Amino acid sequence: MTDTALAPPFGVFVRESAAELRKSLRLPQFALPTIVTPAVFYGLFAVAMNKAGPEAAAYSLAGFGVFAATGPALFGFGAGVAVERDTGLIELKRVSPLPAGAYVTAKLVSAAAMAAIALVLIYALALVGGVRLSASGWAALLAIHLLAVVPFALIGFAVGMRLNAKGAIAAANALYLGFSIVGGLWMPITMLPPWMQHVAWITPSFHLGQMGLWAIGMPSQGSLAAHLASLAAITAAAAWLAISGWRRSPA
Amino acid sequence: MSRIDMATVAQLTGVTKKFGSQRVLDGISIDVRAGEVTALLGPNGAGKTTSVGVLCGRLTPDSGEALLFGLDPQRPAARARMGVMLQSAGLPDVLTVTELVTLQSGYYRRPREVDETIALAGLEGLEKRRAGKLSGGQQRRLLYALAICGRPDLLVLDEPTTGLDHEARRRLWATVRDEANSGTAVLLTTHYLDEADALADRIVVIDGGRIVADDSPAGIKASVAGATIRCRTGLGDALLAALPGVRSMSRSGATANLLVADGAATARHLLAADPELGDLTIAAASLEDALANLSASLKEAA
């Protein structure tokens, strides 16, 4: 019976994603910090204050690119989901004939788009700082940096389904800074105290940062296989936490 | 196996639901039929919103069954012909009326034109305004617009007129009535008696998670009390309450108010007992009288 059929899912996914991105861009208090902060940090520490040359700027680029992806993912998902759960918007989406996953997919697409904007700024600064990579090097780096959105978005989602808006914003901030520092996104991991270098293994930021270094032929720790396996495990755990939170939530 | 006749679009059968140790629904059975407005009436905390939650697939019943167009409400396909207006849903502040209506319309296969939806909800002239800049009443109307934009066969309205002024309430009632007249099944929850009385073809009274009554507004009035008698009399309270057919009485100054089974019969006894009786009026009991009496007799029974 055509009456009970849903609207064509692809169109719904596209429109939902566009609406989500529009929402993000119309909230300057969200869009500006998440897009600009990584570029300012990178421009300041890795380009303007850099005395070690383009090599160091390229090394930093691997980590700061991951940092640029964490903001939209943790805040757009973590805080965004918690706020929309508090206001009852998620409830409205749940009783609407929305294809399963459209709400979450739209948030993911929006976070990836915001991350892409932040990445363009950082890559431009890297060029200014003298970083020169092969086309395949840039492509691999971009792929890793965009991939970084996924685990952080799932972690943000899990947080957002469990905490209220205020708690989720606080948690997202703590994770934003914690993952960046412990994961070695701002400074080489080897400069951190040994215990932090151990903790780093359970952060997605560490693995993504090291994969970035590997992609551009810089010295990195561990093997690519180990990073991919760890990242897959962390992502699966975050996905499980997120989905169980979604199922458990009455609203 | 449950049997659904052609007109029934949604059905709860013996649904129970607990939140923690609190039993919120205690065996609720409701049929919602095409072209009919069914009002779920009851005080706050009676289980109205929870019943709606189960019917919409937002909550899973502990026992019993919920069917939406013959399907499990948790399946998106079951919701394709339903429009829902929730009691409180904060819409994204930064999106405009047109953007939100367009987005919601896109979830349905044969939605209304966006302009038509906006006109039906009384939002003309506010198309470009962001949701966050709307007044409380305008936001309620926007939620109503989102509920009707998909030309639903079932319209679920959870406390639709809370926060609306008198004029806006009347307008909303008129459009809901139009929806039902064109064949849409409407389920509405309310704690306003006049709303249930004005809109509903059927009233399901719910209290403490149970159905207390399920009848037409006229039927509920008739089953509980026949009439109210108002008069000025010198007779004492005890004497009045003891007259045949009197169910309850109250007094304000010299005026007595009696809720009775049969207005004419009791009036004859009254006139015989008090030759001085004045200002006698007999009226059919209002729904409010009926429900007050219903709750009172339930409490006595408990």
Dump pLDDT digits (tens) for A7-42.
788 889 999 999 999 999 998 888 888 999 999 999
According to CATH, where is 3.30.70.260 located in chain B?
226-284
Q: How confident is the model at residue B292 (pLDDT cuts 50, 70, 90)?
A: low
CATH superfamily of B226-284: ACT domain (3.30.70.260)
Question: If interface means Cβ-Cβ distance under 8 Å, which residues of chain B face chain A?
Answer: 19, 56-59, 69, 71, 76-82, 84, 86, 88-92, 94-95, 99, 102-104, 106-109, 143, 146, 150, 153, 156
In whole angstroms, give the CA distance from residue B217 to residue A63.
Answer: 69
Mutation choice for A interface testing from B103, B144, B146, B159 by most A CBs within 10 A:
B103
Mutation choice for B interface testing from A2, A29, A96 by most B CBs within 10 A:
A96
| Whether pLDDT at B189 is above 80 | yes
In this structure, what are the phi and psi dihedrals at residue A101, rounded to the nearest 5 degrees? 90, -5
DSSP string, B140-169: HHHHHHHHHTT--SEEEEESTTTT--HHHH
Q: What is the total count of domains within chain A?
A: 1
pLDDT digits (tens, 9 = 90+) for B206-259: 888 989 889 898 887 776 657 888 888 888 888 888 888 887 788 877 888 888
Cβ proximity of B188 and B199 under 8 Å: yes
pLDDT at res. B254 = 80
Q: Report how far apart, in Å, the C-alpha atoms of A183 and of each of A36, A38, A179, B131, B255 are.
A: 21, 15, 5, 40, 81
Question: Domain containing A148: what range?
Answer: 2-248
| Whether pLDDT at B301 is above 60 | no
In this structure, what are the phi and psi dihedrals at residue B282, rounded to the nearest 5 degrees? -125, 130
Dihedral sign for Cα B156, A87, B58, A4, please.
Answer: positive
In whole angstroms, give the CA distance from residue B122 to residue A75.
Answer: 36
Average pLDDT for residues A220-227, to the nearest whole number? Answer: 92
A–B interface: beta-carbon pairs under 8 A: 97
Cβ burial of A103 (10 Å; 0-12, 13-18, 19+) is buried
Class of domain B8-221: alpha beta
According to CATH, where is 3.40.50.300 located in chain B?
8-221
In whole angstroms, give the CA distance from residue B197 to residue B212.
Answer: 17
ipTM above 0.85, yes or no: yes
Q: What is the pTM of this model?
A: 0.83
| Whether pLDDT at B184 is above 80 | yes
pLDDT at res. B4 = 47
In whole angstroms, give the CA distance from residue B237 to residue B256.
Answer: 9
Q: Which residues of A touch B132 (CB under 8 A)?
A: none
